Amino acid sequence: MLSIEHFYIVLALFLFFAGGSNLREGRYAHAAFWSMLGVLFATGKLVLTASKAGNPLPSQLAGAAVIVLALLATRMRREHIAEAPEDQRRASALRLGHRLFVPALLIPAITVLIVLFGKYIVIFGTPLFGEGSITLIGLALACVLAALAAVVVTRERPIRAASEGRRLLDTMGWAALLPLVLATLGGVFAASGVGDAVASIVSAVIPADSRVACVLAYGLGMVVFTMIMGNAFAAFPVMTAGIGLPLLIQQHGAEPAILGALGMLTGYCGTLMTPMAANFNLVPAALLELDDPNAVIRVQIATAVPLLAVNLLLMYWLAFK
């Protein structure tokens, strides 16, 4: 039975490989960062089990490790890591042609198939996919299979996949963790009652009986919170609990599905305009070695602002019966 924990172990092994590679090259902060992160992924289930059993020490140690990661991140510097010469890469691309796209296309294809049909796959009376999000398990399995497919297509040694993955990871640096951290932050905000606080502030500031004011507060709030947290998924529970549910849905009768879909899309306008969305905005600039780290954001603002205006109009027009 496959569970997400199996893929966490695979990820931990990859992080240990990245840590060992950096250690051999004398990049000690990088080595410590990836190795400690690998330990966290490898021991996550043990920490959770101990916490449920009433033993807080493993959780406290994990929290201390996160603080150490933050300190190590300040010592990490983006450096060029050698790769194959350009003429060699061009020759390889011409030789492989469109087959190069096969591994990348396998990821969404396999993920969708597992989401749709994974629950029906049973081996000797046992479901193949165990507890946890079937989407996340499917995505993890798809990535592993895509890596194997890349090895077959390129006829490279399997260690090359790990080496290139490690090169990409070190190019991104600590920013590779930002989506995970920011999504977690959204859950923390929602659990700590930030949504209720937002609802109180908004009700005191705007006329709650005005549908237009509530739509603007919800839409612009999604944008602002997304820009702060870098992730619309992190902003969504906070703004929906604070404005969307009590004011727009319960008070003004908005359709939840339409409001939620347009609310998320509105939040993505904030994603286009913030460096906190590192995986979308900072990582491409780093990979392309642009002189201006905010170059991607500057280009995207021209799309984000008109899209925001259209989303607000659609929300007001479509979400209410």
Give the pLDDT of residue 4: 86
pLDDT at 30 over 70: yes
pLDDT at 11 over 90: yes
Q: Over the stretch 276-318, which tens digit does the pLDDT of each residue have?
A: 877 788 777 776 777 888 888 999 999 999 999 999 999 999 9
Q: Over the stretch 243-271, which tens digit does the pLDDT of each residue have?
A: 888 889 998 999 999 999 999 999 999 99
Percentage above 70 pLDDT, the chain: 96
Indicate the average pLDDT of the chain.
86
pTM confidence score: 0.74
Within-domain flag for 162: no
Within-domain flag for 280: yes
Give the pLDDT of residue 52: 83
Same domain, 141 and 273: no
Within-domain flag for 164: no
Within-domain flag for 172: no
Within-domain flag for 169: no
Q: Over the stretch 204-244, which tens digit does the pLDDT of each residue have?
A: 788 888 999 999 999 999 999 888 877 787 788 888 888 88
pLDDT at 86 over 70: yes
Range of the domain at 287: 178-318
Same domain, 57 and 92: no
Domain boundary among 44, 77, 110: 77
Q: HEC string of the chain?
A: CECHHHHHHHHHHHHHHHHHHHHHCCCHHHHHHHHHHHHHHHHHHHHHHHHHCCCCHHHHHHHHHHHHHHHHHCCCCCCCCCCCCHHHHHHHHHHHHHHHHHHHHHHHHHHHHHHHHHHHCEECCEECECCCCHHHHHHHHHHHHHHHHHHHHHCCCHHHHHHHHHHHHHHHHHHHHHHHHHHHHHHHHHHCCHHHHHHHHHHHHCCCCCHHHHHHHHHHHHHHHHHHHCCHHHHHHHHHHHHHHHHHHHHCCECHHHHHHHHHHHHHHHHCCCCCCHHHHHHHHHHCCCCCCCHHHHHHHHHHHHHHHHHHHHHHHHCEC
Same domain, 304 and 249: yes
